[in-house]
Amino acid sequence: MDLRGIGLQYNASTKFIDENVNKGLGSKVAIYYKDEKITYKQLQDQVNQVGNGLKQLDIGLESRVLLMCYDTPEFIASFFGSIKIGAVPIPVNTMMQPADYEYFLNNSRAKVLIVHEDLWAKISHLRKRFLYLEHIVVISQHDNHSDNSINYREWVERADRELDAARTSYDDPAFWLFSSGSTGNPKGVIHLQHDMECALNNYAKKVLKMTENDITFSASKLFFAYGLGNGMYFPLGAGGSTILMPERPLPENVFEIIEKYKPTVFFGVPTLYGSMINFMERNGKTFDLSSLRICVSAGEALPAPYIRKWKELFNLDILDGIGSTEALHIFLSNRIGDIRAGSSGQVVPGYEAKIANEHGIPLPPNEIGDLLIKGDSVAHGYWNLHEENKRKFYGEWLFTGDKYYVDEDGYYWYCGRSDDMLKVGGIWVSPIEIENSLLQHEAVLEVAVIGETNDHNLVQPKAYVVLKQGVHPSKELEIELKEFVKRQLAPYKYPRIIEFIDELPKTATGKIQRFKLRVG
């Protein structure tokens, strides 16, 4: 039927799941998870069952579904099951505090939450505060629940395995990701149905040369835009396989997974490469990484010495590339066989980049300015934030918030953030949020948090603390303050260094001059 007004039909779940089965890959392994091997046909069944389960709850087009899921097959089935019926999945960080989840749920107005049992246990007491939430689907080993939540396994098993994709269009919202803001309030980044295919074609296929033969392993979790591509829609989009690891990535378990499942492409962040190198040197052990053909780093700039060291230890290259939640994935990257250590490489095919001064005028090579990029995987915009949208999305251009210069050969060199935000271990940390937390401690009068770079050029949050009168600095107090922040905020945000000082540098109007602390 030739219907008017419905737009160009496109559903990302059809593209990333059904097309593989239709191509004859049904019996191929899509996901390696613990001792399970999940084929494309099995994954398609699970996707369809989640979609049908959601439909039975009266969830349909444009309805948000919040995912508080570890990296397990349920994450992928829930993500694509939601998309297939035109609902909009929102994977969120599993390391946050209860108040953060209240924010995600109320801000997104998700009607359904799909959540792992232990995470639900942390927030179920707040249920009355979740204004729009109607259904809770709990991924659990147990069958019975005291509250009236739904058991994921029973819900899926009851549901039909046949499901036609909703009539979504190419430009329909497909999923959201929350990006941290400088005041600590995350912003819902709305991505469209076509965005994943665009990142797949531009970066995974053209830069990483990903094919059906690839098996990926991402130490970065699926709820990060980086991990979502690495561990889900890149391998599935190429008809390859992914290895999922729900645990926190530590050198020992990352090495173990690589040896056991033999991936061909590995994705990490600079701090992880650093700790893996350190682990090797400390233990004098060797690991067999010979299955890998390439390693990728993103999240923050990769220190050049790590590239050399990794090559020495494993004879493997690490490709540094910069991406963002708003751009969905990597838009500047080094190339296989063409690496400039310390640089973010060249523009990824399918994107354009521009370095501009404060008036938006393009700058010549070697001059530092604001990096703007253009490309089809760039988000539709932020949810419900009109002013922020105007500042971030300039017509066709995305303002990245990063300072860069480009050399005569077209390689881009990172020079820092345009705001005060810190990247710690590849994850955003807002100095304001840490300051606000420390200020609640009874011993603290004033505080300023900055990023301090260590010997390897990696950033650690450092707090300059002015104590209240009568309180004296001590090692014990330092430990107590760190623990205090870890209890209040997601633990990865705690200040690694605390320095007690008598007063903070301030402007005449009383604004803390963080830049003065930065230069020491």
Interface residue list for ligand 3UK (CB under 6 A):
179, 225-226, 298-301, 320-325, 329-330, 344, 400-402, 414, 417, 423, 428
Tokens encoding 34: 């613990």
- Between 323 and 431, CB nearer to ligand 3UK: 323
**Residue in 32, 340, 337, 332 with CA at minimum distance from that of residue 203:** 332
Nearest approach in angstroms of CB 298 to ligand 3UK is 4
CB 345 within 8 A of CB 412: yes
Nearest approach in angstroms of CB 181 to ligand 3UK is 11
In Å, what is the CA distance from 416 to each residue of 33, 107, 388, 402, 439?
A: 37, 30, 21, 6, 27
Secondary structure, 3-state, 291-354: CCCEEEECCCCCCHHHHHHHHHHHCCCEEEEEECCCCCCEEEECECCECCCCCCEEECCCCEEE
Nearest approach in angstroms of CB 299 to ligand 3UK is 4
- Between 244 and 427, CB nearer to ligand 3UK: 427
- Between 18 and 370, CB nearer to ligand 3UK: 370
**Residue in 520, 500, 501, 503 with CA at minimum distance from that of residue 512:** 503
Give me the phi and psi of 24, to 5 degrees please. Answer: 95, 15
Nearest approach in angstroms of CB 188 to ligand 3UK is 13
- Between 295 and 477, CB nearer to ligand 3UK: 295
Nearest approach in angstroms of CB 371 to ligand 3UK is 8
With H, G, I as helix, E, B as strand and everything else as coil, classify residue 88. strand
Nearest approach in angstroms of CB 256 to ligand 3UK is 25
Neighbours of 97 (CB within 10 A): 16
- Between 280 and 301, CB nearer to ligand 3UK: 301
Residue nearest to ligand 3UK (CB): 323
CB 92 within 8 A of CB 224: no
First to last CA, the chain: 69
- Between 382 and 428, CB nearer to ligand 3UK: 428
Nearest approach in angstroms of CB 283 to ligand 3UK is 28
- Between 166 and 302, CB nearer to ligand 3UK: 302
CB 55 within 8 A of CB 84: no
